[in-house]
Amino acid sequence: MARKKIIAGNWKMNMTPSQTVELINTLKPLVATEDADVVFCVPAIDIIPALEASKGSNIEIGAENMYYEEKGAYTGEIAPDMLTDVGVKYVIIGHSERREYFAETNETVNKKVLKAFEHGITPIVCCGETLTQREQGVTMDFIRQQVKIAFLGVTAEQAKTAVIAYEPIWAIGTGKTATTEQAQEVCCGIRKCIAEIYDEATAEAIRIQYGGSVNDKTAPELFAQPDIDGGLVGGAALKPDFGKIVNWK
Ligand code: PGA
């Protein structure tokens, strides 16, 4: 069965709650499609207004982060059941900005991925190399390690429903998109890695996105690749152009 595309916006630290309502009202008619799952991952405080504003549309709301404990003395963190209680279906885990600025490691990513599955939230698990790693020729080694650790203890049935976002760090917010060939090559390598950890059926089912300066010009070629099942979109997800990315065909 063909995999359904999944196109997600990563709003990062942008949009107040009132701006959220405005943006969703603008984007709602533009992102209407049955061909892809459309997810807006928004800041925690915007989740509830986003859910309300997107009611009755095809937009699903996701979180940008989540903690791996159930509750307790973790000032500033968001618990998984706070997300499920309001209807959040997706959570971005291990974005490179969280790894770089908030000391997330492969191990904390793994804990969060396990916790998300425990609560029935679909993790969008991020991986990606630095420019130095690419130049040193260790891209795939590095990403395979990120993926293998992220999925430790995850069952094949769970992994089939997961989303992986391949985001080369050098392409995020820089306007430098990876070439279609580079993106396809790594996404294909990630699928092979999943086949090694689990089996072919799991590798065929899991959805792998490309992220890093995706825009309405680059999306069509990227999303047409056999191993690229959609995108994780930062900057361009905050503009009406996101509608063109979602309806890339
Ligand atoms: P960008 O961000 O599209 O602005 O490069 C992508 C991301 O970080 O998810």
- 44 DSSP assignment: G
Both tokens of 194, joined, read 């999943």
Q: Domains in the chain: how many in total?
A: 1
Q: Is the distance from the beta carbon of residue 233 to the nearest atom of ligand 1 less than 6 Å? A: yes
Which three-class secondary structure state does DSSP give residue 188? helix
Q: Is the distance from the beta carbon of residue 167 to the nearest atom of ligand 1 less than 6 Å? A: yes
Q: What is the pLDDT of residue 240?
A: 97
For residue 242, the enclosing domain spans: 5-246
Q: Is 173 annotated as a binding residue?
A: yes
Q: First-to-last CA distance in the chain?
A: 19
Dist CA 100 CA 104 (whole Å): 7
Q: Is 58 annotated as a binding residue?
A: no
- 129 DSSP assignment: -
Are 4 and 38 within 8 A, CB to CB? Answer: no
Dist CA 127 CA 42 (whole Å): 19
All residues at 6 or more sequence positions from 138 whose CB lies less than 8 Å from its CB, including other chains: 129
Both tokens of 208, joined, read 């792998």
Q: What is the pLDDT of residue 196?
A: 98
Least confident interval from 26-35, 41-50, 120-129, 175-184: 175-184
In ligand 1, the atom with minimum distance to the C-alpha of 96 is 8
Angle between helices 106-118 and 139-150 (to 10 degrees): 40
Question: 73 phi and psi, to 5 degrees?
Answer: -85, 75
Give 175-231 pLDDT, tens digit per residue: 888 899 999 999 999 999 999 999 999 999 999 999 999 999 999 999 999 999 999
CA 168-105-207 angle, 5° bins = 50
Query: How far does residue 72's CA lie from ligand 1's centre (Å)?
Result: 32
In ligand 1, the atom with minimum distance to the C-alpha of 173 is 5
CA 164 from centroid of its chain's CA atoms:
6
Q: Is the distance from the beta carbon of residue 173 to the nearest atom of ligand 1 less than 6 Å? A: yes
- Mean pLDDT of the 17-35 span: 98
The helix or strand, by DSSP H or E, that contains position 146, with its residue range, turns out to be helix 139-150
Are 39 and 6 within 8 A, CB to CB? Answer: yes
Distances, alpha carbon 219 to alpha carbons 80, 155, 156, 181, 247, in Å = 32, 31, 29, 13, 10
Q: Can you give the C-alpha Rg of the chain in angstroms?
A: 17
Looking up residue 113, the CATH number of its domain turns out to be 3.20.20.70
Which of 217, 218, 232, 245 for mutating ligand 1's site (highest number of atoms within 8 Å of CB)?
Answer: 232
What is the pLDDT of the chain when averaged over all its residues? Answer: 97
